[in-house]
């Protein structure tokens, strides 16, 4: 009787120890753990033990074995309070840590690459290696869709760029059947004009009116005279003057992107555009406006004649001078 009692006590104690080992030990803080390609369950178990994420390597291995015995490659954010069992479940299921990558509307490819390079949650280079052949290697302005992308931590930067490229291909496919307003002729024309509209105003509600101005100018044979195209030319495609003002002398730059010197659209987009700018070009406002200038409130004043435009421009100069 005593022997059986001793055995029973031992079993209860053993079960209690196992239960504590698998479920009771908890992380003290959130920690990022990487399961590298080729790493064994034992390798990972030892890393977890070394970082005090589990009380013993055996507890983690036992939990993994109970779930099939295999873990998946990736970076895992182990939350505070996670038990060995929960950590094992995350790694068996491949519940890798994710991160949000925001690509704002209106950025150029050069700016997007800088943004991706500065994101420490991503990995790898942002440019293709010499000899590498892939669609993303030839990505240009207008080819990627600005959006918020949720990806696994450690995702290669080129993969994120390609994700945005493929999203733009999808947008193009969805809108390919839309009627294109004259004198535009194809999708490239739409994106080129949308990139100018995108750079001219941050207000989605104002974009159809801005688009109408440029379409009216194209129809009349007037040059677009769009400042953002000059900035693009001056900065060699960066699209940002980095605090320097755009001066009258800059408007004389010899470049096919300078719409003050060249008639029609520039040869390619000057930025990457969102849905609002594309829709604005495909569905422009019905106006006779030929000019617009900033109103000092984040929007613009529009006018039909050059005389009206000169008055609006004078008002804008007064507002700028008052702010100095």
The pLDDT tens digits of the residues spanning 277-313 come to 999 999 999 999 999 999 888 899 999 999 999 998 8
175 in a domain, yes or no?
Answer: no
Give the pLDDT of residue 21: 45
- Selection from 262, 256, 258 nearest residue 231 by Cα: 258
Token pair of 152 as six digits: 């696994």
The alpha helices in 20-146, defined as continuous H runs, are 41-50, 57-66, 84-93, 109-117
The answer to whether residues 158 and 249 belong to one domain is: no
DSSP string, 229-291: HHHHHHTTT----TTPPP-GGGGG---TT-TTTS-S--SS-SS---HHHHHHHHS-------E
21 in a domain, yes or no?
Answer: yes
Band (pLDDT 50/70/90 cuts) for residue 15 is very low
Window from 7-21, 110-124, 201-215 with minimum mean pLDDT? 7-21
Residue 201's domain comprises 187-323
Give the pLDDT of residue 284: 98
Predicted TM-score (pTM) of the model is 0.85
Residue where a domain stops, chosen among 93, 120, 154: 93
Q: Is the dihedral of CA 73, 76, 82, 86 positive or negative?
A: negative
39 in a domain, yes or no?
Answer: yes
145 in a domain, yes or no?
Answer: yes
DSSP annotation of 40 reads: -
Token pair of 63 as six digits: 């939990």
Domain count, the chain: 3
φ, ψ of residue 43 in degrees (nearest 5) = -55, -50
Mean pLDDT taken over the chain: 90
The answer to whether residues 105 and 212 belong to one domain is: no
pLDDT higher for 9 or 136?
A: 136
Pairing outcome for strands 291-294 and 148-152: unpaired
């Amino acid at each position: 009787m005593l022997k059986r009692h001793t055995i029973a006590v031992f079993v209860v104690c053993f079960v209690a120890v196992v239960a504590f080992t698998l479920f009771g030990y908890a992380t003290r803080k959130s920690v990022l753990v990487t399961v590298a390609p080729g790493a064994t369950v034992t390798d990972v178990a030892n890393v977890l033990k070394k970082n005090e994420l589990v009380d013993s390597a055996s507890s983690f291995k036992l939990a993994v074995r109970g779930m099939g015995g295999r873990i998946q490659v990736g970076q895992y954010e182990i939350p505070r309070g996670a038990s060995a069992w929960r950590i094992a479940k995350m790694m068996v299921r491949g519940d890798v840590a994710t991160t949000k990558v925001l690509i704002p509307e209106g950025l150029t490819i050069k700016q997007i690459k800088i943004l991706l390079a500065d994101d420490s949650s991503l990995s790898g280079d942002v440019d293709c290696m010499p000899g590498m052949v892939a669609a993303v290697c030839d990505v240009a302005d207008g080819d990627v869709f600005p959006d918020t992308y949720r990806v696994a931590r450690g995702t290669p930067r080129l993969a994120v760029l390609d994700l945005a490229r493929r999203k733009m291909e999808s947008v193009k496919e969805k809108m390919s059947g839309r009627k294109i307003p004259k004198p535009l002729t194809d999708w490239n024309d739409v994106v080129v004009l949308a990139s100018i509209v995108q750079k001219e105003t941050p207000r989605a509600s104002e974009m159809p009116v801005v688009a109408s101005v440029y379409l009216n100018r194209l129809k009349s044979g007037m040059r677009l005279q769009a400042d953002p195209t000059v900035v693009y030319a001056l900065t060699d495609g960066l699209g940002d003057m980095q605090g320097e003002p755009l001066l009258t002398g800059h408007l004389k730059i010899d470049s096919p992107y300078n719409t003050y010197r060249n008639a029609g659209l520039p040869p390619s987009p000057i930025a990457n555009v969102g849905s609002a700018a594309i829709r604005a070009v495909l569905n422009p406002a019905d106006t006779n406006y030929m000019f617009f200038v900033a109103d000092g409130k984040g929007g613009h004043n529009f006018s039909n004649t050059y005389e009206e435009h000169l008055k609006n421009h004078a008002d804008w100069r007064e507002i700028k001078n008052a702010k100095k």
